[in-house]
């Protein structure tokens, strides 16, 4: 008898389809195609020589330890280095407030597993990071989406959503935000809204999960204090911070960290004990070297200058090839790696994606960035990976594709 495996699967996984963005990449293997789809840092800014030296040092002096299991919460040297790194951003923690994760994505997974039962609700922006959505989806939650505005989360909209969910006896477990150069929109939350969001968190006793992959990649203007640091200054303990080295150093290491109240981090560590157990020591040691032996401040400044030039080229190309009559608009971020493009409401970017591939250009359809009731006429584009010439050519191709669909 043929086994019906689907009936054997856990209910919360039975209809779970994983990360749709990853599936799109299988269609993008043509070398002539210019992809604006991924969130890849540019190899041009990788610290190759420093990486070789750090690797050789690990192999010469730590090889037996590298080949062995390591501490579940993380290597002491890395934890100490991260604590010093965070002080630069006005955050003071102890080793009991941090767990090293095997990528920022594991940090999201730990968060979802810790707080969400099937049917529980959470608040998030519309749109928001698709990786967070799929991490939380595994727990079978109810998404309370609130449309993001030009200066960040809609605080009054979140308040109304909380009240609505409370009336349904489903008080949100947490509020998830990416306040700095949000993926996918590139929007940054203003200081006024950060303070207001914290007050909302205190009023309703709802934790905030602050995801910070891009915070240091600011190209214009002054940095806005993190929610975590503002919470600390107010003697609060309502914010959990999620971080990764993928955008600042390199994604291949798959190392990140979560910070938060001691009891939260202890439980996250328990969950990690039952999943990955420990993050590879070699990867942690290389990240320690990034923070201690490499000039990370100079590296980040180099990244800022490099990506700012690409962003300016990209924005200029959009102005040139998408005049007002096309009805196409886009965000103008001050940092990060992404822009959010909005097309006329009659267009479905999930359908347009396959047409664009014929023009040898790719993007991510906007519908994957919604927890529920997706809007269809948006796309996320990335400017960090392609060369400047490729960025201009990609915009030309995208313009031709969209104009064709609009009969312009």
Same domain, residue pair 350 and 291: no
Tokens, residue 71: 């501490």
**pLDDT value at residue 94:** 97
Same domain, residue pair 366 and 313: yes
Instruction: Point out the domain boundary residue: 264, 295, 326.
Output: 295
Reported as a single tens digit per residue, the pLDDT across 240-258 is: 999 999 999 999 999 999 9
Same domain, residue pair 273 and 260: yes
d(CA 104, CA 219): 23
Same domain, residue pair 224 and 268: yes
Same domain, residue pair 225 and 333: no
Q: Is the pTM of this model over 0.75?
A: yes
Which CATH number fits the domain that encloses residue 190?
3.40.640.10
Same domain, residue pair 264 and 178: yes
Beta-strand pair 239-244/256-259: antiparallel
- 26 — pLDDT class (breaks 50, 70, 90): low
- 330 — pLDDT class (breaks 50, 70, 90): very high
- 269 — pLDDT class (breaks 50, 70, 90): very high
Percent of the chain exceeding pLDDT 70 equals: 97
Q: Comparing 1-10, 62-71, 156-165, 196-205, which segment has the lowest mean pLDDT?
A: 1-10
Same domain, residue pair 28 and 150: no
Reported as a single tens digit per residue, the pLDDT across 141-182 is: 999 999 999 999 999 999 999 999 999 999 999 999 999 999
Tokens, residue 222: 């002054």
| Beta strand extents in 164-219 (DSSP E only) | 175-177, 208-211
- Whether residue 287 lies inside any domain: the answer is yes
- 292 — pLDDT class (breaks 50, 70, 90): very high
- Whether residue 350 lies inside any domain: the answer is yes
- Whether residue 137 lies inside any domain: the answer is yes
**pLDDT value at residue 27:** 62
Same domain, residue pair 120 and 163: yes
Of 183, 251, 180, nearest to 216 by C-alpha is 180
Same domain, residue pair 209 and 288: yes
**pLDDT value at residue 352:** 96
Question: Which is more confident, 175 or 11?
Answer: 175
Beta-strand pair 208-211/239-244: parallel
Report how many domains make up the chain: 2
Same domain, residue pair 243 and 290: yes
d(CA 69, CA 76): 14
Question: Which is more confident, 392 or 25?
Answer: 392
Tokens, residue 179: 């306040």
Residue whose tokens read 């927890």: 371
d(CA 13, CA 139): 8
Of 156, 161, 129, 164, nearest to 145 by C-alpha is 161
Number of continuous H segments (helices) and E segments (strands) in the chain: 15, 13
**pLDDT value at residue 21:** 66
The 10 Å CB-count burial string (b at 16+, else e) for 266-283 is ebbbebbeeebebbbbbb
Residue 2, classified by CB atoms within 10 Å of its CB into exposed (0-12), middle (13-18) or buried (19+), is exposed
Put residue 402 in one of left, alpha, beta given phi > 0 → left and psi -120 to 50 → alpha.
Answer: alpha
Instruction: Point out the domain boundary residue: 262, 277, 295.
Output: 295
Instruction: Point out the domain boundary residue: 246, 265, 295.
Output: 295
**pLDDT value at residue 334:** 97
Residues 6+ apart with CB under 8 A from 108: 131, 132, 135, 136, 211, 242
**Residue 138 scores a pLDDT above 70:** yes
Structural domain of 183:
63-295
Same domain, residue pair 107 and 256: yes
d(CA 161, CA 145): 8
């Amino acid at each position: 008898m043929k086994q019906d495996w689907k009936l054997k699967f856990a209910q919360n996984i039975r209809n779970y389809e994983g990360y749709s963005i990853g599936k799109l990449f299988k269609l993008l293997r043509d070398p002539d195609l210019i992809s604006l789809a991924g969130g890849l840092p540019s190899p041009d800014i990788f610290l190759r020589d420093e990486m070789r030296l750090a690797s050789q040092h690990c192999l010469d002096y730590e090889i037996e330890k590298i080949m062995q299991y390591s501490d579940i919460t993380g290597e002491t040297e890395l934890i100490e280095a991260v604590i010093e790194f965070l002080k630069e951003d006005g955050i003071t923690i102890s080793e009991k407030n941090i767990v090293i994760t095997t990528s920022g994505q594991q940090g999201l997974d730990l968060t979802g597993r810790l707080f969400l039962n099937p049917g529980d609700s959470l608040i998030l922006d519309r749109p928001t990071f698709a990786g967070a959505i799929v991490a939380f989806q595994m727990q079978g939650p109810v998404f309370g989406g609130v449309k993001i505005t030009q200066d960040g989360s809609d605080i009054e909209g979140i308040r109304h959503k909380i009240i609505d969910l409370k009336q349904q006896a489903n008080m949100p477990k947490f509020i998830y935000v990416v306040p700095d150069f949000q993926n996918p929109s590139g929007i940054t939350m203003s200081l006024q809204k950060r303070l207001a969001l914290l007050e909302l968190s205190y009023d309703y006793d709802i934790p905030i999960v602050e995801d910070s992959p891009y915070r240091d990649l600011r190209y214009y203007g002054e940095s806005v204090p993190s929610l975590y640091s503002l919470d600390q200054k107010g003697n609060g303990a309502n914010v959990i911070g999620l971080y990764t080295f993928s955008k600042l150093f390199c994604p291949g290491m798959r190392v990140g960290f979560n910070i938060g109240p001691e009891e939260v981090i202890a439980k996250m560590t328990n969950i990690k004990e039952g999943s990955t157990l420990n993050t590879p020591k070699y990867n942690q040691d290389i990240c320690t070297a990034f923070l201690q032996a490499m000039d990370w401040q100079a590296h980040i400044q180099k990244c800022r200058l490099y990506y700012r030039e690409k962003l300016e080229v990209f924005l200029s190309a959009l102005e040139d090839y998408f005049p007002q009559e096309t009805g196409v608009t886009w965000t103008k971020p001050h940092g990060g790696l992404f822009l959010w493009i909005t097309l006329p409401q009659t267009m479905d970017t999930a359908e347009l994606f396959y047409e664009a591939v014929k023009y040898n250009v790719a993007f991510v359809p906007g519908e994957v960035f919604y927890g529920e009731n997706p809007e269809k006429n948006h796309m996320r584009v990335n400017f960090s990976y392609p060369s400047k010439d490729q960025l201009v050519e990609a915009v030309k191709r995208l313009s031709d594709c969209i104009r064709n669909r609009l009969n312009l």
